[in-house]
């Protein structure tokens, strides 16, 4: 077990190195410069040149890379050009916001996805099944940013139920957090809800056809008991295995949703960093996010291996 | 403003201020009510609050409440003292002696002294975006704690205009910040508000600075200067980039003031009693300029043909959804230097003349590349409409659409790949005649003339404009320079859009300006 | 977006032959969601192909005077802020979206098969190729696409390439897994024993038996590509701004979402209908070609 875990961690190191190289490679090709962003639309050429010197952007790419890796090995991800703060500090500040949003989304996904899937399977081929699966399909097919825009108009403007966006720290005001995070979490979760509902339904149908369920029924077990005790435990196995994947999708798929709802999370941070050419922020932020996602994957794999010893041997 | 005038005027302010101080309680109350959290819905994202290196308007909106300057601009964008209570200019116009207002303290509790001023000027001179404003300075000295003297190498008529410029102002920070690297300035100033919390992409929260020492030489605010008071306990600047969400937040009462209300929404909001609309009529000048190094716009006749072909009414109408005014000038109406010299070349909308000029120029279907960005939708729309107008007279117009950093970078650094660059001048225009034409003069030359030498006749007038001590002479030079810009088609101004804002009805004391001011604004119950 | 993965299964072995045999075709025709998906896709494709005929107006033709017209008989889907006809723009947008989606699918088919087959068959290449794909997959996919698109500048080609880079590692993984499985089967060993060369075995024996999961995967890549292209275009990094792209139309419409909601709603629905069609199609293909495949993402 320990050997397996260590092996997975060892595999992650070269991947992270590749990740940093790829992001440097992309950034080398990106035209435009952060000085133009800082200087604003009124900037004169003279001002831009001075600002570039000030920010160290006139240094050669090689020396910029050397500086970056030199600092990286000391655990320093550098300074954001646009924000003027240490990358690590900003990234650490923003992560909890995205994580809380992702967890909320995950909760919505699990609760809605599972129940829709189970209900659909129980009412197989009835109208409720059809309605549930239509809903799931629409969830998988609708662009999430569009859904976000439409929800703002519907729930904030016309109905006035929810704020238009922003972020309220959970520990300061849990109710405010809940209200502000609901629309972004729902836009993020919609596709995952659809996918999970479909997965749950098909697994459930398969399980319900198994002999032992029929046996349980034959023995006179009530239908809820059959579903909860016998069927659900089997349905949950494939579901648990996709949760890790869903969480990483939710964590990384938030660039556009965070932007639309003005949620200051890691997705909006890095999206803006790319659009603003904030090289140190892009570099450091991508490495951080990739590391988090890799760790998450390792945790899921190790858990899975623990549950299913056959995997370890592979 | 002549030297003599400025001196008299500044002395006058001092006298008025002294009287005001003597009058004491007779001041009109600035705040009808104190307290509350004022929330603003801002369009643009915020970067660093280091005002020495950040020229973005969004940054200025926030930073102007934290930091103050020796001199800044008044309601008419004329230079005015702020942290200094008096200024004496020597007879030889080589030394400028500023006396600091007494009792001013930084947010960290430290009293403001001339050492802080000198340190701030040192830092600005090292990394400030507009450090060329200090180009004619020989040195500065601090004879005592309250006195700051600047010595020039040679007299410069526009010196006070330069150091009072409000785009990237020389804000005064504590002396220990002098060595802070660019973008890493700690936001500690002397302003009426201090920083409480900054979460980029989300919001900035400022709170009242209790020990603020207002500038009592004026009875109220004027431009960026004057008597200010933090009526509200806190101000929250929220970034709401989605236009729909921004306005919705105003309508639901989540925010109190929003920037940039779309024209269509204005009409809808008229009936809403909870919302008051405000307008600064002349807020932004939209224009483009050609690249004089890239064919076919290196050919004057081609440029004149393009100028003749353009229907600026249509362009402005499309880009502003109908909320604009035509403006044949590089200044706003009402500004000192405003003139319509050269307006015969403006908004000609004469396709026949354009075709004739093209023929004369021997135009051969070369691509005319319009460089623009979608990040600023108005610039994109202007380019789209212009390309249709050019195509209508047989010009092979092409759009080159890049994101803003790339487009601006290309227009500055490249003399190839583009023929027209679209932009909007807000502060550039507001800062006055010389500033508004500076981009077309040596060494800036945004229009990329051959050998980086701008038009000789234009430069002659520009020199007079920037150096003459006589206002009438400067105004005449501005008019001639502007006419030359039209003749040579060095830039094409389209028109002016207003700054449309809206506030909740319980927001009192709000006066629209180029930047959104929150001092002296209070919330009624 | 999402990981596209379909667990491997032995039935892939014979699916292509069965598929070509006609029995599967009959099952597909009887498959309700497949047929609905097929009709939706054909509908969108027809609009894309006949866009120049059914839309009498140039999609970029401005008419400032008739801007912000709601849907009516004169303007079927209304007009936008520059008075451009939304019906024309949506129709031409279908062209663009399908072309970009198809481009991504083709690149995925070519490079996904190439890299997946190399990694699965030549074990020495496996380590490096899979580490590279791990690295690409370690990036949040939207951020990776945005980064590549920012480097290349907005154009339809940019959208195709950046999305292809995002999805190829995922396609390659699926193909690699199938190749690994098929490679273990007896008839492959028999061919090898008979002295067949590596490329011959790959081409003749292995790849044809990996087609079913690939076809299913590609149908979902198509759907995701259309969704992701809309994201990129919405951010100004996808299709060239002058193209009538659905993502750009939503982005332009959102400023007017209160007063002219049709500008935002209509292109969004166009995306949803197209993606829905592709998803239904993919579901049907999966049910019929790969009946025991688990639905994952």
User: How far B290 CA lies from chain C's nearest CA (Å)?
Assistant: 21
DSSP assignment string, A146-175: HHHHHHIIIIIIIS--S-SS----TTT-HH
CA dihedral sign of residues A183, A184, A187, A191 = negative
What average pLDDT is seen over chain A? 82
- Alpha carbon B6 to chain centroid, angstroms: 22
Of residues A270 and B82, more confidence is placed in B82
Peptide bond preceding B443: is omega within 30 degrees of 0, i.e. cis? yes
The stretch B178-187 carries a mean pLDDT of: 88
A86 touches chain B (CB under 8 A): no
B497 touches chain A (CB under 8 A): no
What average pLDDT is seen over chain C? 85
ipTM over 0.95: no
Nearest CA in chain C to B43: C255
Chain C residue numbers touching A251 (CB-CB < 8 A): 140
C158 touches chain A (CB under 8 A): no
Of residues A62 and A193, more confidence is placed in A193
The pair of structure tokens assigned to B34 is 């104190």
Q: Categorize the per-residue pLDDT at C9 as very low, low, confident or very high, splitting at 50, 70 and 90.
A: very low
What average pLDDT is seen over chain B? 89
The pair of structure tokens assigned to B123 is 């830092």
Residue of A24, A105, A142, A143 best to disrupt the C interface, most CBs of C under 10 A: A143
Q: Categorize the per-residue pLDDT at B8 as very low, low, confident or very high, splitting at 50, 70 and 90.
A: very low
C-alpha dist (Å) from residue C49 to C45, C104, C106, C184, C247: 6, 19, 19, 44, 20
Residue of B41, B43, B59, B129 best to disrupt the A interface, most CBs of A under 10 A: B129
C-alpha dist (Å) from residue A246 to A143, A288, B337, C192, C278: 17, 19, 62, 41, 22
Where helices occur in chain C by DSSP H, the ranges are 12-21, 23-30, 32-49, 51-54, 86-107, 113-121, 123-138, 141-152, 156-183, 186-193, 198-200, 211-234, 246-253, 262-289
Instruction: In whole angstroms, give the CA distance from residue A137 to residue B270.
Output: 42
Sequence-separated (6 or more) residues with CB below 8 Å from residue B520: B30, B31, B220, B221, B227, B228, B229, B231, B509
Q: Categorize the per-residue pLDDT at A184 as very low, low, confident or very high, splitting at 50, 70 and 90.
A: very high
Block residue for tokens 């006419």: B483
pLDDT exceeding 70 applies to what percent of chain B? 95
- Cα angle B266-B269-B272, degrees, rounded to a multiple of 5: 160
Pairing state between β B367-372 and B420-425: parallel
A41 touches chain B (CB under 8 A): yes
Contact C231 A199 (CB under 8 A): no
Instruction: In whole angstroms, give the CA distance from residue C271 to residue C114.
Output: 30
Q: Categorize the per-residue pLDDT at B24 as very low, low, confident or very high, splitting at 50, 70 and 90.
A: very low
Residue C104, CA atoms < 13 Å, CB-side half-sphere: 34
B402 touches chain C (CB under 8 A): yes
User: How far B339 CA lies from chain A's nearest CA (Å)?
Assistant: 22
B396 touches chain A (CB under 8 A): no
pLDDT higher than threshold 90 for residue C240: no
Contact C1 A271 (CB under 8 A): no
pLDDT of residue A312: 52
Most confident of B260-269, C108-117, C237-246: C108-117
Kindly report the number of other CB atoms within 10 A of residue C169's CB atom.
Answer: 24
Can you name the residues that pair with B422 across neighbouring β-strands? B288
Of residues C169 and A57, more confidence is placed in C169
Q: Categorize the per-residue pLDDT at A311 as very low, low, confident or very high, splitting at 50, 70 and 90.
A: low
pLDDT of residue B375: 81
User: How far C66 CA lies from chain A's nearest CA (Å)?
Assistant: 25
Instruction: In whole angstroms, give the CA distance from residue B41 to residue B208.
Output: 19
Instruction: In whole angstroms, give the CA distance from residue C207 to residue A307.
Output: 33
User: How far A173 CA lies from chain C's nearest CA (Å)?
Assistant: 30
Instruction: In whole angstroms, give the CA distance from residue B16 to residue B12.
Output: 6
Instruction: In whole angstroms, give the CA distance from residue A84 to residue C278.
Output: 45
| Partner residue facing C254 (CB), from B242, B317, B321 | B242
Instruction: In whole angstroms, give the CA distance from residue A250 to residue A253.
Output: 5
Contact A18 C143 (CB under 8 A): no
A245 touches chain C (CB under 8 A): yes
Chain B residue numbers touching C245 (CB-CB < 8 A): none
- Cα angle A22-A24-A30, degrees, rounded to a multiple of 5: 105
SS (HEC) of B349-366? CCHHHHHHHHHHHCCCCC
C241-286 pLDDT, tens per residue?
Answer: 778 899 999 998 988 888 899 999 999 999 999 999 999 998 888 8
pLDDT of residue B12: 38
Are B524 and B34 in contact by the 8 Å Cβ rule? The answer is no
Domain boundaries, chain A: 87-312
Contact B244 A153 (CB under 8 A): yes
- Smallest CA-to-CA distance from B476 within B468, B425, B432 is with B468
Q: Categorize the per-residue pLDDT at C136 as very low, low, confident or very high, splitting at 50, 70 and 90.
A: confident
The stretch A292-308 carries a mean pLDDT of: 77
pLDDT exceeding 90 applies to what percent of chain B? 66
Nearest CA in chain A to C260: A153
Contact B56 A163 (CB under 8 A): no
Contact A149 C132 (CB under 8 A): no
Instruction: In whole angstroms, give the CA distance from residue C55 to residue C5.
Output: 39
- Smallest CA-to-CA distance from B458 within B336, B469, B447 is with B447
| Lowest pLDDT segment from B324-328, B501-505, C192-196 | C192-196
Residue B56, CA atoms < 13 Å, CB-side half-sphere: 23
The stretch C140-166 carries a mean pLDDT of: 87
Q: Is A135 helix (H, G, I), strand (E, B) or coil?
A: helix
A55 touches chain B (CB under 8 A): yes
The pair of structure tokens assigned to A57 is 């952007």
The stretch A288-295 carries a mean pLDDT of: 84
B406 touches chain C (CB under 8 A): yes
Nearest CA in chain C to A16: C135
Nearest CA in chain A to B251: A157
Are C189 and C258 in contact by the 8 Å Cβ rule? The answer is no
Residues 473-492, chain B, touching A (beta carbon < 8 A): none
Q: Is B186 exposed, middle or buried, given 0-12, 13-18 or 19+ CB atoms closer than 10 A?
A: middle
C59-106 pLDDT, tens per residue?
Answer: 888 888 888 999 998 888 999 988 999 999 999 999 999 999 999 999
How big is the B-C interface in CB pairs under 8 Å?
A: 59
- Smallest CA-to-CA distance from B94 within B157, B144, B9, B142 is with B157
Longest dimension (CA), chain B: 74
Residue A271, CA atoms < 13 Å, CB-side half-sphere: 28
Can you name the residues that pair with B87 across neighbouring β-strands? B98
B63 touches chain C (CB under 8 A): no
Residue of A153, A161, A165, A272 best to disrupt the B interface, most CBs of B under 10 A: A165
pLDDT higher than threshold 60 for residue C21: no
Q: Is B74 helix (H, G, I), strand (E, B) or coil?
A: coil
| Lowest pLDDT segment from A249-253, B283-287, B446-450, C20-24 | C20-24
Contact A19 C135 (CB under 8 A): yes
DSSP class of A231: I
Where helices occur in B155-299 by DSSP H, the ranges are 159-163, 243-252, 263-269
C-alpha dist (Å) from residue A31 to B129, C42, C239: 22, 40, 18
pLDDT of residue A62: 76
**Dihedral-angle region of residue B272 (phi above 0 means left; psi in -120 to 50 means alpha; beta otherwise):** beta
B393-424 pLDDT, tens per residue?
Answer: 999 999 988 877 788 878 887 888 999 999 99
Residues 64-123, chain B, touching A (beta carbon < 8 A): none
The pair of structure tokens assigned to B107 is 């947010």
Contact A195 C135 (CB under 8 A): no
| Partner residue facing C147 (CB), from A23, A289, A290 | A23
Instruction: In whole angstroms, give the CA distance from residue B53 to residue B95.
Output: 27
Instruction: In whole angstroms, give the CA distance from residue B292 to residue B303.
Output: 9
The stretch C192-198 carries a mean pLDDT of: 86
pLDDT higher than threshold 70 for residue B254: yes
Is this model's pTM higher than 0.95 or not?
Answer: no
C148 touches chain A (CB under 8 A): yes
The pair of structure tokens assigned to B485 is 């810009």
pLDDT higher than threshold 90 for residue B110: yes
A268 touches chain B (CB under 8 A): yes
- Cα angle B328-B329-B333, degrees, rounded to a multiple of 5: 100
Sequence-separated (6 or more) residues with CB below 8 Å from residue A171: none
Where do the DSSP E strands lie in B385-461? 396-401, 420-425
pLDDT of residue B268: 86
Q: Is B171 helix (H, G, I), strand (E, B) or coil?
A: strand
The stretch C138-154 carries a mean pLDDT of: 83
Contact A43 B408 (CB under 8 A): yes
Chain B residue numbers touching C150 (CB-CB < 8 A): 403
A128-166 pLDDT, tens per residue?
Answer: 998 999 999 999 999 999 999 999 888 888 888 888 888
| Partner residue facing C143 (CB), from A15, A138, A270 | A270
Chain B residue numbers touching C251 (CB-CB < 8 A): 374
User: How far A271 CA lies from chain B's nearest CA (Å)?
Assistant: 11
pLDDT higher than threshold 60 for residue B9: no
Q: What's the first-to-final CA gap in chain A, in angstroms?
A: 13
User: How far A114 CA lies from chain C's nearest CA (Å)?
Assistant: 14
C261 touches chain B (CB under 8 A): no
pLDDT higher than threshold 70 for residue C15: no
Are B199 and A162 in contact by the 8 Å Cβ rule? The answer is no
Instruction: In whole angstroms, give the CA distance from residue B45 to residue B65.
Output: 17
Instruction: In whole angstroms, give the CA distance from residue A258 to residue A269.
Output: 9
Contact C147 A255 (CB under 8 A): no
The CATH code of domain A87-312 reads 1.10.3720.10
* All chains having 3 or more CB pairs closer than 8 angstroms to chain A: B, C
DSSP assignment string, B387-400: HHHHHHTT-EEEEE
pLDDT higher than threshold 50 for residue B455: yes
pLDDT of residue C188: 85
Chain B residue numbers touching C67 (CB-CB < 8 A): 321
The stretch C172-185 carries a mean pLDDT of: 88
| Partner residue facing B200 (CB), from A47, A157, A264 | A264
pLDDT of residue A223: 73
| Partner residue facing B48 (CB), from A82, A160, A269 | A82
- Cα angle A245-A246-A252, degrees, rounded to a multiple of 5: 90
* All chains having 3 or more CB pairs closer than 8 angstroms to chain C: A, B
* All chains having 3 or more CB pairs closer than 8 angstroms to chain B: A, C
DSSP assignment string, B495-525: EEEEEEEEEETTEES----SS---TT-EE--
pLDDT of residue B119: 96
Chain C residue numbers touching A142 (CB-CB < 8 A): 268, 271-272, 275
Instruction: In whole angstroms, give the CA distance from residue C98 to residue C40.
Output: 13
pLDDT exceeding 90 applies to what percent of chain C? 39
């Amino acid at each position: 077990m320990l050997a397996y875990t260590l092996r997975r961690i060892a595999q992650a190191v070269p991947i992270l190195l590749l990740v940093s190289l790829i992001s440097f490679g992309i950034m080398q090709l990106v035209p435009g410069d952060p000085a133009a962003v800082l200087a604003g639309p009124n900037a004169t050429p003279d001002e831009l040149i001075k600002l570039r010197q000030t920010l160290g952007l006139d240094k050669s790419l090689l020396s910029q890379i050397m500086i970056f890796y030199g600092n990286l090995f000391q655990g320093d991800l550098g300074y954001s050009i646009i924000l003027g703060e240490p990358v690590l500090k900003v990234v650490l500040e923003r992560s909890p916001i995205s994580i809380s949003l992702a967890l909320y989304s995950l909760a919505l996904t699990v609760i809605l996805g599972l129940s829709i899937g189970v209900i659909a399977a129980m009412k197989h081929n009835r109208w409720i099944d059809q309605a549930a699966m239509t809903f799931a399909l629409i969830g998988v097919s609708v662009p999430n940013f569009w859904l976000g825009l439409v929800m703002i108009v519907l729930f904030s403007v016309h109905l006035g139920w929810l704020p238009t966006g922003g972020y309220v720290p959970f520990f300061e005001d849990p109710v405010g957090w809940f209200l502000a995070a609901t629309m972004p979490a729902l836009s993020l979760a919609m596709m995952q809800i659809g996918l999970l509902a479909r997965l749950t339904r098909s697994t459930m149908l398969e399980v319900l056809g198994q002999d032992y369920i029929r046996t349980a029924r034959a023995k006179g077990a009530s239908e809820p008991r059959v579903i909860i005790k016998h069927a659900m435990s089997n349905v949950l196995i494939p579901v648990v295995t996709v949760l890790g994947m869903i969480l990483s999708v939710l964590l990384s798929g938030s660039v556009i949703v965070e932007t639309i709802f003005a949620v200051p999370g890691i997705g909006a941070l890095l999206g803006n960093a790319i659009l603003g050419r904030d090289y140190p922020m892009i570099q450091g932020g991508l490495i951080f996010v990739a590391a988090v996602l890799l760790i998450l994957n390792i945790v899921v794999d190790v858990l899975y291996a623990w549950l299913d010893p056959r995997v370890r041997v592979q | 403003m002549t030297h003599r005038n400025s001196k008299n005027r500044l002395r006058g302010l001092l006298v008025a201020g002294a009287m005001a101080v003597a009058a004491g309680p007779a001041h009109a109350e600035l705040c009808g009510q104190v307290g509350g959290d004022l929330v603003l819905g801002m369009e643009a994202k915020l970067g660093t609050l280091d005002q020495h290196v950040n020229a973005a308007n969004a940054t200025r909106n926030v930073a102007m409440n934290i930091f103050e300057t020796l001199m800044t601009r008044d309601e008419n964008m004329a230079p005015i003292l702020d942290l200094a209570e008096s200024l004496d200019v020597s007879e030889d116009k080589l030394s400028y002696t500023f006396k600091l207002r007494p009792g001013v303290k930084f947010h960290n509790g430290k009293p403001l002294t001339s050492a802080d001023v000198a340190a701030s000027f040192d830092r600005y001179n090292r990394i400030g975006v507009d450090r060329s404003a200090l180009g004619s300075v020989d040195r500065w000295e601090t004879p005592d704690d309250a006195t700051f003297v600047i010595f020039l190498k040679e007299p410069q008529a526009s010196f006070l205009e330069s150091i009072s410029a409000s785009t990237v102002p020389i804000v005064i920070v504590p002396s220990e910040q002098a060595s802070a690297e660019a973008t890493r300035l700690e936001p500690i100033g002397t302003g009426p508000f201090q920083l409480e919390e900054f979460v980029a992409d989300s919001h900035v929260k400022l709170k009242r600075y209790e020990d603020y020492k207002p500038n009592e030489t004026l009875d109220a605010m004027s431009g960026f200067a004057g008597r200010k008071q933090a009526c509200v306990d806190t101000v929250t600047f929220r970034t709401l980039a989605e236009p729909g969400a921004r306005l919705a937040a105003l309508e639901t009462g989540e925010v109190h003031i929003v920037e940039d209300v779309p024209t269509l929404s204005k009409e809808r909001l008229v009936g809403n009693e909870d919302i008051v609309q405000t307008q600064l009529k002349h807020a932004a000048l939209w224009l483009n300029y050609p690249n004089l190094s890239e064919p076919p716009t290196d050919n004057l006749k081609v440029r004149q043909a393009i100028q003749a072909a353009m229907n600026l009414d249509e362009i402005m109408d499309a880009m502003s959804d109908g909320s604009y005014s035509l403006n044949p000038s590089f200044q706003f109406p009402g500004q000192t230097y405003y003139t319509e010299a050269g307006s015969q070349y403006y908004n000609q909308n004469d396709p026949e003349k354009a075709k004739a000029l093209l023929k004369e120029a021997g135009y051969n279907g070369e691509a005319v590349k319009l460089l623009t960005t979608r990040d600023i939708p108005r610039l994109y729309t202007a380019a789209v409409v212009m390309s249709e107008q050019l195509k209508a007279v047989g010009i092979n117009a092409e759009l080159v659409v890049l994101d803003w950093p790339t487009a601006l970078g290309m227009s500055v650094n490249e003399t190839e790949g583009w023929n027209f660059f679209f932009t909007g001048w807000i502060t550039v225009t507001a800062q006055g005649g010389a500033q508004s034409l500076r981009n077309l003069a040596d060494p800036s030359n945004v229009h990329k003339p051959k050998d980086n030498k701008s038009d000789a006749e234009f430069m002659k007038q520009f020199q007079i404009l920037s150096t003459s001590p006589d206002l009438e002479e400067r105004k005449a030079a501005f008019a001639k320079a502007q006419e030359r810009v039209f003749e040579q088609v060095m830039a094409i101004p389209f028109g002016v859009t207003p700054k449309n804002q809206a506030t909740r009805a319980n927001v009192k004391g709000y006066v629209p300006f180029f930047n959104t001011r929150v001092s002296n604004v209070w919330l009624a119950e | 977006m999402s990981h596209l993965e379909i667990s491997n299964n032995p039935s892939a072995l014979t699916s292509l032959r069965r598929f070509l045999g006609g029995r599967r075709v009959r099952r597909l025709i009887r498959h309700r969601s497949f047929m609905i998906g097929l009709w939706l896709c054909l509908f969108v494709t027809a609009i894309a192909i006949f866009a120049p005929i059914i839309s009498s107006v140039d999609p970029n033709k401005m008419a400032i005077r008739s801007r912000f017209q709601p849907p009516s008989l004169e303007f079927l889907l209304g007009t936008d802020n520059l008075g451009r006809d939304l019906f024309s723009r949506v129709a031409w947008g279908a062209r663009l979206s399908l072309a970009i989606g198809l481009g991504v699918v083709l690149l995925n088919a070519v490079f996904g098969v190439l890299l997946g087959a190399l990694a699965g068959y030549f074990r020495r290449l496996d380590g490096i190729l899979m580490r590279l794909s791990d690295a690409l997959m370690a990036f949040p996919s939207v951020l990776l696409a945005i980064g590549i698109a920012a480097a290349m500048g907005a154009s339809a080609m940019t959208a195709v390439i950046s999305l292809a880079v995002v999805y190829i590692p995922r396609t390659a993984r699926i193909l690699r897994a199938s190749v690994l499985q098929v490679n273990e089967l007896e008839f492959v060993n028999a061919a090898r024993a008979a002295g067949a060369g590596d490329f011959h075995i790959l081409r003749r024996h292995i790849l044809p038996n990996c087609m079913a999961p690939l076809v299913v995967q590609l149908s979902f890549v198509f759907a995701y590509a259309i969704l992701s292209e809309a994201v990129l275009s919405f951010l100004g990094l996808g299709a060239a701004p002058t193209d009538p792209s659905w993502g750009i139309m939503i982005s332009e419409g959102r400023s007017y979402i209160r007063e002219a909601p049709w500008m935002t709603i209509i292109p969004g629905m166009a995306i949803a209908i197209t993606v829905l069609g592709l998803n239904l199609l993919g579901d049907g293909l999966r049910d019929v070609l790969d009946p025991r495949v688990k639905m994952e993402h």
